Structure 1
């Protein structure tokens, strides 16, 4: 029994090292969801216990966090010296609004650059994210993943790795409603809110597609400013 426990700890440590290396190599970009337990078990031929112990290693190293009912997400370690947003920094409505103010400053310019530099492939991926957002609304989901993906695709369309890294460091938690259950059926007012967000995304996309730099900048500023004001008015629950 003791030998079995030792073997399990060795396997979990080796698996943790592999997962950490993948995070550092951006195979699992910070802020993105790690593969499901079953997928990791199948890829590495290990037990569920080994996978869970490995994930615990990652959490202890500051390389992952698990959100109940959502999944486990890759993180950068605390000692990298790079900018990152810790979950504790989004604990209040004021914190969330402060982060939106930062996004307004950076993402409006990202949209402008995306309008200048986007490729057809970039546009295709934005369309996929928009479609996923619409489908999530109709399915009664919160559309967080599609929302974050749309903003990430804009960052990718800048062809500037710093904007891409910024979005990766923020991760899905940058979307205020990410701390709500993804399976929660939205109330009518919440569904109407998501439809408005979708329309704002469409406006940003159209400006980028038309390579209208000023319109892309304005549409993004409007979208993020509206999100900030909706939070201030208590229209969505950011807790």
Structure 2
């Protein structure tokens, strides 16, 4: 009986994440809400959340709740799923070998419209500190805009292929840690993105590559950082 109830709850929550009812970075209903809404036991709820975690659709943090992750893109057949912390670290290592060169080329080749797109994504990101889902969306838009400004379709298509799932979701972005820690984390991330934008605007390829490399290296460190309490 529990197995059937768990499967039903998993299917409903999975559908909510995939269709965007619960956006990436948003918190799922609490255990108590799911119990009351679906008439199931706490065991069923916890089993359902554990299954969604195994599928890479949910990340849970003690004391903070469970949050939706970016679902796989419908056309992502054949791409490697990003589920574990090790997967996310490996993806950042891959991006470190890719995006600094894209940023360098963007500094040399970007058009005024492409620079405006990078700036617009940066502004959206900077304004979304209180909205993890919006922050993730604008973060991806920023990196995609840089790749498009490189003038090399392989960079743009490569990032589009990875999709929003390439954006790491550190614990601070999921509401863990003290308010001061979360504010410092976000301010630092905005500062790093601004450095990339400014170097591209200044037509400084070495500076753009260096700023992108520093940002991705910092993202890798933050992924495993222990938030201050």
Please report the TM-score for the alignment, with normalisation by the length of structure 2: 0.63
Question: Which of these residues, 185, 196, 203, is aligned with residue 211 of structure 1?
Answer: 203
Residue matched to 2:132: 141
1:118 correspondence with 2:118: no
Following superposition of structure 1 onto structure 2, how do residues 45-124 of structure 1 map, counting pairs within 5 Å?
74-76=73-75, 78=77, 84-86=79-81, 90-124=82-116
1:138-180 alpha-carbon deviations (Å, 9 max, x no partner): x343510000100000000011111111111111111111899
Runs of 5+ in structure 1 lacking a partner? 1-32, 37-64
Once the 2 structures are TM-superposed, how far is the Cα of residue 92 of structure 1 from its aligned partner? 1.9
Q: Flag the 1:69–1:35 CA change in 2: closer, same or farther, 3 A.
A: closer
- Secondary structure of the 2:151 match is coil
Spell out structure 1 runs of 4+ moving beyond 3 A: 33-36, 65-74, 139-142, 178-182, 184-187
1:56-76 alpha-carbon deviations (Å, 9 max, x no partner): xxxxxxxxx988868876432
Runs of 5+ in structure 2 lacking a partner? 1-17, 22-55, 59-66
1:17-59 alpha-carbon deviations (Å, 9 max, x no partner): xxxxxxxxxxxxxxxx9898xxxxxxxxxxxxxxxxxxxxxxx
Cα pair 2:125 2:138 within 8 Å, conserved: yes
Please report the TM-score for the alignment, with normalisation by the length of structure 1: 0.60
The number of aligned residues is: 167
1:79-104 alpha-carbon deviations (Å, 9 max, x no partner): 6xxxx232xxx222221111100000
